[in-house]
Amino acid sequence: MAVANPKIRGQQAHSVLREEEADKVIFYHAWCKRCDICIAFCPKQALALDEANDPQLLRPERCNSCGLCEVLCPDFAIMVPQRRRKYKSQARKKETRY
């Protein structure tokens, strides 16, 4: 399994991770004010700061795509695509047909 290099930033990081890991957490660093809320509240401790002081998914094997980082981010600088897919599939299962 590939391991994220903390020196790599932005789109380059996606090429280092396996495809299914690369889209677990997407950071918009231009929007991020580096408050570290995402890192502090990650239940799996999958996030950490890189050398540029930007939050990154440095331990993708720990991430369960819970989306807590996305929900808590005050800058809307994080997206967890897998969380959205899970939510949509759960919503479809709960639909009541008349």
Average pLDDT, the chain: 78
* Percentage of the residues of the chain whose pLDDT score is greater than 70: 62
CB 62, CB 44: distance < 8 Å: yes
Would you state the pLDDT for residue 83?
A: 73
**Greater confidence, 16 or 41?**
41
**Greater confidence, 18 or 75?**
75
Collapse the DSSP code of 31 into the 3-class scheme (helix H, G, I; strand E, B; otherwise coil) and give the result: coil
Would you state the pLDDT for residue 42?
A: 97
Between CA 39 and CA 69 the distance in angstroms is 8
**Greater confidence, 20 or 23?**
23
Fold for 11-94, please state it.
Answer: Alpha-Beta Plaits (3.30.70)
